[in-house]
A and B are shown apart, each in its own frame.
Chain A
Amino acid sequence: MKLLAALGAVVLGFLAAIGRIALFALETLAQALRPPFYGREFFAALLNIGWLSLPVVGLTAIFTGGALALQIYAGSARFNAEAVVPQIVAIGMVRELGPVMVGLMIAARVTSSIAAEIATMKVTEQLDALVTLSTNPMKYLTVPRVLAGLLVVPVLVGVGDAIGVLGGYAVATGTLGFNGATYIKNTVEFLEPLDVISSLTKGAVFGLSATLMGCYYGMNSGRGAMGVGRATKGSVEGAAILILAANFLLTGVFFSL
């Protein structure tokens, strides 16, 4: 009986957390539609989330693409099907690995920093100071970050996809003996518009999830250094789970239904 009660409490807690996050998302949307709009903060967020994430996204993508080419080559060699390497690298990167790896890198780099920054602002009364200065913290801090994530992460995913395919190309032509022109031709011919659309859509959803979780946990952090630490940890865990769950759902929507 105690076990059932404990299980019930966990489920209820989980559902309550989903409800709170959903309400937070709705509040963000409502604030995004009403003036004033903080353009300066939006462009700063674009720069931070987009431009400054490029190195980590690029490095992650190029190594992932290279490793993918090696694995596919090793696996396909068992069936004498090594020629499929360009196609599988392309589909693997664009449909799955590109968006997911970029999403997880954004969760690690951006979600954590947003949560830590906003949580510290809360702990040091900067959020209260914003209110006394007639500025809504949701509008000033959350809306610019979430909008920037929604818009710029798909671009990062596109860049990550391209660099990942390039990583596969470099490994395939450099060490596996593939012809460069043929590799590119096979890649381009095999990819369909839906692959790219799904990739960019995932990027938008992952960007939204990552920034929203950072803001949510930051705004709802506890007191002191421990509160900031918990908010940061919770935000990354929440964003990673949300990204992987959304990836599963979106893959189903685009390719299975």
Chain B
Amino acid sequence: MIRMTDIRKSFGTNEVLRGVDLYIPKGTSMVIIGGSGTGKSIALKCILGLVQPDSGTITVDGQDAATGDRDAFLARFGMLFQGGALFDSLPVWQNVAFRLLRGSLKRPRDEARAIAIEKLRRVGLKSDVADRFPAELSGGMQKRVGLARAIAAEPEIIFFDEPTTGLDPIMSGVINDLIREIVVEMGATAMTITHDMTSVRAIADNIAMLHDGVIQWTGPVSDMDQSGNPYLDQFIHGKAEGPIESVR
């Protein structure tokens, strides 16, 4: 499980996170929603240590995320980045098997390649994609490769940052279904950031609404439509009127 307690983060005078408290039970899928620029990605990057919070604590299975063996900590995570973040200079299979080709999880090259091709197949890509470079792939294929890379080392926890941004509705549906299937299949704990309500309904067990630097509402996705929370209501129904200013 992941627990964030009173996480605060500012950039200059811009106070992005003002005391985020969030609990993600093991093996569940949490989706964080909120408008653009509300600090969703920052919250996720704080957990991974990509951004250092100004204060507050983050624990993963009771262990403080800021202390201990960092490599061992990160080896528990997989992440799908918003733009894929594939390494341009490496062919697809080496992107997928990146973790398996170096470091503590290193495997023989042939074995790593075989695992990469298997993971590509799992996300619906054929083996002939393996030797192509990321720049030769469409946006949807890049997302799938990013997803294959995120799951290549069988992580316990997977983060998805805006997994459907920039994709057409059909490809978004495919990615949402893949994410749901893979998370269930692996029994992984998942945390997704999105403002795509279709993704929310497809992926989430629980949701958390982040606005003004704090979690405004959190609960099971089934309760989302009857939450009575004005922030959440405005967001999920896409209304211009409400407590969230439409011009930020």
Contacts and interface: CB of A to CB of B under 8 A. Distances in A.
Given A36-B102, A38-B102, A131 B83 contact: no
A126 B103 CA distance: 18
A132 B83 contact: no
Given A126-B87, A128-B45, A133 B98 contact: yes
B82 A129 contact: no
Nearest to A132: B79
Per DSSP, chain B at the interface is: mixed
Interface residues of B, number: 25
Given A126-B87, A128-B50, A133 B81 contact: no
B190 to A, nearest CB: 15
Nearest to B82: A125
Contacts of B70: 134
Q: How many A residues touch the partner, as a band? A: 10 to 19
Interface in A65-104: none
B56 to A, nearest CB: 20
A131 B103 contact: no
Nearest to B70: A134
B207 to A, nearest CB: 23
B60 interface: no
A133 B104 CA distance: 11
A132 B77 contact: yes
Interface in B49-96: 49-50, 70-71, 74-75, 77-79, 81-83, 85-88
A132 B87 CA distance: 13
Given A132-B74, A132-B77, A133-B98, A124 B85 contact: yes
A87 to B, nearest CB: 46
A133 B112 CA distance: 15
A40 to B, nearest CB: 9
A135 interface: yes
Contacts of A128: 45, 50, 81, 85
B83 A124 contact: yes
Contacts of A124: 83, 85
A128 B102 CA distance: 17
Given A36-B102, A38-B102, A128-B81, A134 B87 contact: no
B83 A134 contact: no
B85 A126 contact: yes
Contacts of B77: 132
Given A132-B74, A134-B74, A134-B75, A125 B85 contact: yes
Interface of B: 45, 48-50, 70-71, 74-75, 77-79, 81-83, 85-88, 98-99, 102-105, 149
Interface of A: 36, 38, 120-121, 124-126, 128-129, 131-135
Closest 9 CB pairs of A and B: A129-B85, A125-B85, A134-B74, A132-B79, A125-B81, A134-B71, A133-B99, A126-B85, A134-B103
